[in-house]
Amino acid sequence: MNAMLANEWTVLVAGEHTAGQFAIVEARVRPGSEPPRHMHSREDEFICVLEGRVTFDRDGERLDGPSGTWLYLPRGCEHTFAVESVEARLLVMFSPAGLEGCLRESGQPGDPVAEDEVIERLVATAARYGVAITGPGGKP
């Protein structure tokens, strides 16, 4: 199963409600379903670990992320993370808004998509939103 499709992304505040200034999503992620290593060209990302534990990789720097951790990922920063607990719940803010559309287009668990199609769809969708996929996800 693909990373983006195995996770649950819930848009809590969409850009159309903030005049495009920011968007907030909640993510429930599991080990083995992490997003691929990637880089945003249009927005900064702020992540708060609400539950669980993750290990972040920010531009090659490994950072521990227990519950309560906040992390700033500026645009142009290559990053990924690995879930170290059974599940992690993250609060993610994008500024400016827009990337929440990529998450919506990338699908949800249970979407009937073959594995090879998933990767092609993810790379194409991400590129439309100014996100470059730079490597596999998982252990930083």
**The pLDDT value given to residue 114:** 56
Residue 131 CA to residue 112 CA, distance in Å, equals 24
- How many percent of the chain have pLDDT more than 90? 66
Write out pLDDT tens, residues 106-117.
755 455 555 566
Report which of residues 26 and 112 the model is more confident about. 26
Write out pLDDT tens, residues 92-101.
999 999 999 8
- Domains of the chain, each with CATH number or no CATH: 3-132 (2.60.120.10)
Write out pLDDT tens, residues 35-58.
889 999 999 999 999 999 999 999
Indicate left, alpha or beta for 61 from its phi (over 0: left) and psi (-120 to 50: alpha): beta
Residue 125 CA to residue 54 CA, distance in Å, equals 25
Write out pLDDT tens, residues 63-87.
999 999 999 999 999 999 999 999 9
Q: Are 29 and 7 in contact (CB under 8 A)?
A: yes
